[in-house]
Amino acid sequence: MRMSKYGSFAAGVSIRGMPLVQTHPGRVYWVYNGTTLDTGHKSGSDGNKGTFEAPFATIDYAIGQCRANKGDIIFVKPGHAETITTAAILVMDVAGIAIVGLGQGANRPTLTFGTNTTANIPITAANMSIQNFLFVANKADVVSVFTATSTNTPTDFTVENCEFRDSSSSLNFITIITGNATANSMDGLYFGYNRISSLGTTAATTAIAILEAADRVRVTHNFGVWAVLNNTPTLMSTSTFNMLSLEVDYNVVVRPNTDTATGGILLEGTGETFTGMVHHNHCKTLDVAGMLIMTLSSKLGFHENYLSGTADTSGLLIPAADDDGS
């Protein structure tokens, strides 16, 4: 069956009674390199036209066909798989594009990091997003999945509904997103609805490393289980820099550390003039003494966060509830 091609519908369109409300102004490209083909469909090739019936074979090639800030979308079919061996295999360098994986579970498009610890996906342009992918670490201490390179400013970068999975305690990701030393290059970062299975024990593992000041970062509705690494946060490290309009909310993290005295379980940073809110997070450690979510000099607001430092117990409100003295 051939796909129909339509122009723009300002008021939307209904097909077989189903309203199509998520419209976009850009081109659509398809990517697939698997062997399960429908009748009349071509095997994936970067010599194809990138249509549903004749998809490209690589995501990077599809990115290269997109136009900056025109709303172009790349759909990656279920069963697609690529191995990221260097920083040149897949580069997110066209502003304003969305890369959307299709499928569920093991059928999701899968990117495996398995030959080089420095292999990563450089992010160099603004307003990019990637959704519904499975990322697998099959090499020891893979430094980072996504990296803001050089002095680039990939603002408003979105990673949503993805899974990051270590293969073992020695085949692991260290970081998922690493910023650069350019101020405000990570403004608007959105990391939401992701799952993390972090097994690494040979190096400090934290999902996001911010290396300069940033505004409007949101880390929300993620679930993750990490191996024991005392005084190492799960979700984000901000070094000495302040974050403005930061929101960290509705995350569930488990790291059975026995010491959180300096690292906190959720966040780590020594900046003292943050703005924003950390709220409705649930944390599990095995530290009954420190039980820190984050260093308390940050000036962030903390509401309805719970932490348990003892096995088989429900969490306590951390930090302690405010006492206005009345």
127 lies in the same domain as 223: yes
304 lies in the same domain as 162: no
- State pLDDT tens for residues 219-240: 999 999 999 999 899 999 998 9
222 lies in the same domain as 95: yes
One DSSP character per residue, 114-163 reads -S-TT--EEE-SSS-EEES-EEEE-STTEEEEEEE-TT----S-EEES-E
In this prediction, residue 325 carries a pLDDT of 55
DSSP 92: B
Would 87 be classed as within a structural domain? yes
158 lies in the same domain as 38: yes
169 lies in the same domain as 277: no
- State pLDDT tens for residues 133-183: 999 999 999 999 999 999 999 999 999 999 999 999 999 999 999 999 999
129 lies in the same domain as 42: yes
256 lies in the same domain as 291: yes
In this prediction, residue 23 carries a pLDDT of 58
Would 115 be classed as within a structural domain? yes
Which residues 6+ apart lie within 8 Å of 105 measured at CB?
Answer: none
In this prediction, residue 100 carries a pLDDT of 94
Would 122 be classed as within a structural domain? yes
Secondary element (H or E) of residue 60: helix 59-65
Would 139 be classed as within a structural domain? yes
Range of the domain at 307: 251-326
Would 128 be classed as within a structural domain? yes
Distance (Å) of CA 312 to CA 49, 196, 251, 266, 309: 56, 22, 19, 20, 9
Say what the alpha-carbon torsion angle 295, 296, 299, 304 is, to the nearest 10 degrees: 100
> Which parts of the chain have pLDDT scores under 50?
1-5, 7-8, 10, 15-16, 18, 21-22, 326
In this prediction, residue 14 carries a pLDDT of 52
178 lies in the same domain as 112: yes
222 lies in the same domain as 273: no
In this prediction, residue 21 carries a pLDDT of 47
- State pLDDT tens for residues 57-70: 999 999 999 999 99
In this prediction, residue 320 carries a pLDDT of 80
Written as six digits, the tokens of 192 are 């939401």
* 256 upstream amide cis, omega within 30 of 0: no
In this prediction, residue 283 carries a pLDDT of 94
- Alpha-carbon span 282 to 289, nearest angstrom: 17
In this prediction, residue 1 carries a pLDDT of 39
310 lies in the same domain as 213: no
Q: What domain count does the chain have?
A: 2
Q: Which of 211, 239, 199 is nearest to 149 (CA)?
A: 211
